[in-house]
Chains A and B, each alone.
Chain A
Amino acid sequence: MKLALGILLSLAAALAFYSWRGAPEAESSSQRVVVRSGAEVKDPVPLSEVVALPTSAAATKSSERADFRRTALDLMRLDAKGLRDVYRRGAQSSNDDEKYLAFRAGDFCTAVLLNIHPQVNQEMNGDQWREYERAGRALKARCADFYGIPAKDLSRSVRELVGSLSSTKSDYSPGEYQLGRYDTQKEAIERVRARLKAAIERDGPASLIYVSEGLSTWLELAVTNERYSATIDPAFRENPGTLSISVHLAECMLGFSCDGESMSYLINCASGVGCAGSMEAFLLDSLSEPEQAVVKRQAAAVASAIRPFLGSKKGCLVGAGGHALRCSLACVTQAWHTGLFKRP
């Protein structure tokens, strides 16, 4: 009896601690968001429009999403076995999460397997040349577990994976988040805006792995579109031309690996695009100091808008039961302050 009571008390204490810990965390998250646009949001976004209250299906889905989010954030730093496992799991899967991750893991290693050696810049100095050679060796080592696959098969499989995601208009189809140059119709802009917003709310920082290009294009359009420009952080207006770099830099701030071992850096360095030592340095390389300052401000604005959607307890579409309502209220605040997709 005492034992049962002890367990019950422990559970109650744990539950109380969990509830206590969760609420301030969500609150502090929303307080961390700095809305610098100066433009007041006239109509708070209705609850129903921002967040769907989790159903049991959504709660089940949330554990899968946690897997996706974790793997997406880790993808750039996975070792050879990890990359191969992600590819192997997704190549034959019917699950879109796994297919997308397999596409990215396979894509990293296709150039290595195809033995593509672009002509590199002959003006590299000694240090750059050594870094270029190091990156080539590191990339080969990271792709070592792919060597059993014929290069053309891997390349074809990677194209088929992304093709299959696109043909079903999956959440991971890059085309779903990208505005074409002539997509200036209100409907197209609104459709892409809604998809970007939903993706960020669903996957938080991890969503950048599949929306970053689309997001920067949307922001480029938003700053020049009178319908949206007033609702956008002024940092974005400082230099719309650097937004794509800024969104990639925001990835570094939000937990993607951007050091000298990051796969995206290794690919750029080993193929002779740029060997600045890390992805962050590569992104800022060749920009003037004022441009770097703008890029850092823009990246911080993107990161602070997305950061509230980090992980399970702070995320909007996870949790169940009583936690859901509390989380939802916090998320309304978070989404309202996102700053990337405020209503015009």
Chain B
Amino acid sequence: MNKKAIGVGLLTAATVVWAVTTWGPFLIKNYHPEIGSLAADQDVDMHAASNTPVLVMNKSVDKIKAGDIVRFVYPDGKVYDMETEYQCSPMRSAACIYKKITPVACVGGWTHCPAVVSERQIDPYRGDPKTSCESRDVTMEFDTGYWKQDSNVNGNQITITASWVDTGTQSVEFAKYYNGGYPHCR
């Protein structure tokens, strides 16, 4: 991995106050280091995502109203928007309960995705398998780094800032995604 000097980028800084509907992003890693991914969180019935906002916002967590969106970054770098079913409450063990989880491409675009590729990312490089069975190598460049979060609760106003710390780029070859793999091309 080609590591560049680490610097705090503010490309994706998000300032959140009570008037807006998207809260966060909250970094799960800072509060639940044992939870590595959404799947691991689902194993404990989303308790990391339920609990992290109250750890950041303290009792002001009930400013997250029903239907608001709460954005989370999991340690594997994947970002999700979760829609609250009810207003969050510091009086419950599961402070926030979510009804809908939507993966976010990546805050700031695909360049900040981790080096784990999805079919969706590969697609533009493939060409159209209906018209071509051509096989070609796909090599993608990924920026690597990690998310950093700062938060400040000042009375009634909560400011949460998340930023991408750039650690360089990584080239990844995806030979197994040749169009030749499609059944009609065999």
Contact = CB atoms under 8 A, between A and B. Distances in A.
Instruction: Please indicate whether A and B come from the same complex rather than being unrelated chains.
Output: yes
Nearest to A268: B90
Interface stretch (B7-15, B54-62, B127-135): B54-62
13 contacts: A107-B94, A111-B94, A114-B45, A118-B32, A179-B66, A180-B66, A181-B21, A213-B62, A241-B155, A244-B60, A271-B54, A271-B93, A274-B58
Contacts of B21: 181
A207 B58 CA distance: 24
Interface residues of A, number: 50
Chain A interface SS verdict (over half): helix
Interface of A: 104, 107-111, 114, 116-119, 151-152, 155-156, 158-159, 162, 166, 174-175, 178-182, 212-214, 216-217, 239, 241-242, 244-245, 248, 264, 267-268, 271-274, 282-283, 286-288, 291
A110 B68 contact: no
B33 interface: yes
A169 B77 CA distance: 38
Contact of A158 (B31, B87, B94): B94
Contact of B94 (A110, A178, A282): A110
B82 interface: no
B118 interface: no
A111 B86 contact: no
Given A119-B33, A159-B45, 8 more contacts: A159-B97, A178-B66, A213-B87, A244-B60, A244-B62, A248-B91, A264-B90, A271-B55
B65 A180 contact: yes
Contacts of B86: 174-175, 178, 213
Contacts of B45: 110, 114, 152, 155-156, 159
Given A180-B67, A241-B156, A274 B59 contact: yes
Nearest to B153: A286
Contacts of B55: 118, 271-273
